[in-house]
Amino acid sequence: MARNLYILAGTLLLFAAISFVMAMTAGRFQPNLPASGTLWKTTALFLTVGGLLVSLLGVITALFEQIDRRTELRRIDRANRRNPHNTGPAGPAR
């Protein structure tokens, strides 16, 4: 799940960078372009903030997934220490 959020954050930040470049070059190469630099700057700002928020959610999701994995491993380890003949969910070893 965290990997998908990282990909989304990267995409949003890429589009933010493109919008920033468009804000800096809007009207220089095509003077009749019907876009204003302020609109591109606002778009770049919102995409940057969105990308940063999504990347923060990705980091938090990765941390919680790691906590879940470690908790599960500790639970299995404790169960194996109580019953050494049990090797896990598949049953005893033969």
Q: What is the 3-state secondary structure (H, E, C) of the chain?
A: CHHHHHHHHHHHHHHHHHHHHHHHHCCCCCCCCCCCHHHHHHHHHHHHHHHHHHHHHHHHHHHHHHHHHHHHHHHHHHHHHHCCCECCCCCECC
Q: 6 CB contacts (<8 Å, ≥6 apart)?
A: 55, 58
Question: Domain ranges in the chain?
Answer: 2-28+36-82
pLDDT of residue 88: 56
Q: What is the pLDDT along the chain (94 residues), one digit of tens a residue?
A: 788 999 999 999 999 999 888 888 766 666 666 567 788 889 999 999 999 999 999 999 999 999 999 999 999 999 888 887 765 565 555 4
pLDDT of residue 25: 79
pLDDT of residue 46: 96
